[in-house]
């Protein structure tokens, strides 16, 4: 009997931190994830979800290296940028950084496998 798991199965991506993290305004936070698939990872992407919309933050691939979107370049950096494991750090967190972040491993031939973690920001705006 042959059994196939869907590409988006929760076991395909492992978060290496809590599913929900909290940080004070002005603080720093790092999100990490690792691909557990045996498929070839072509690209790793990070997105932020806000009110149902997805905003591209950063990508890493062997072909194009690391790219950080203009809106995030001043306070986001890659803490770890390998195809099987990735981490981004947010510096000087603001209330606008609150929301959920997705780590997306684009694999061949199965497609995207994802993991989601959320950020709660507390404290007063600076």
Look up the CATH number of the domain holding residue 19. 2.60.40.10
Q: Which range of residues forms the domain containing residue 118? A: 15-122
**Model-level pTM?**
0.83
pLDDT of residue 27: 96
Rama region for 111: left / alpha / beta (φ>0; ψ in -120 to 50; rest): left
Q: What is the pLDDT of residue 7?
A: 40
For 118, list phi and psi in degrees, rounded to 5: -120, 155
Q: Which residues of the chain have pLDDT under 70?
A: 1-18, 124-126
Query: Tell me, what's the pLDDT at 4?
Result: 34
pLDDT, one tens digit per residue, over 73-90 is 999 999 887 888 999 999
> So what's the pLDDT on residue 91?
97
In a domain, residue 9? The reply is no
The verdict on residue 42 lying in a domain is yes
Count of domains for the chain: 1
Spatial CA neighbour of 13 closest among 101, 123, 76:
101
């Amino acid at each position: 009997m042959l059994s196939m798991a869907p590409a988006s199965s929760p076991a395909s991506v492992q978060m290496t931190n809590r599913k929900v993290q909290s940080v004070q305004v002005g603080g720093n936070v790092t999100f990490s994830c690792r691909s557990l698939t045996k498929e070839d990872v072509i690209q790793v992407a990070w997105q932020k979800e806000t009110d149902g919309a997805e905003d591209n933050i950063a990508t890493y691939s062997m072909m194009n290296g690391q790219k950080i979107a203009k809106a995030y370049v001043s306070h986001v950096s890659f803490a770890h940028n390998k195809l099987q494991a990735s981490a981004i750090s947010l510096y000087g967190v603001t209330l606008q950084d609150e929301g959920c972040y997705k780590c997306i491993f684009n694999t061949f031939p199965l497609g995207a496998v994802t993991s989601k973690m959320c950020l709660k920001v507390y404290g007063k705006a600076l």
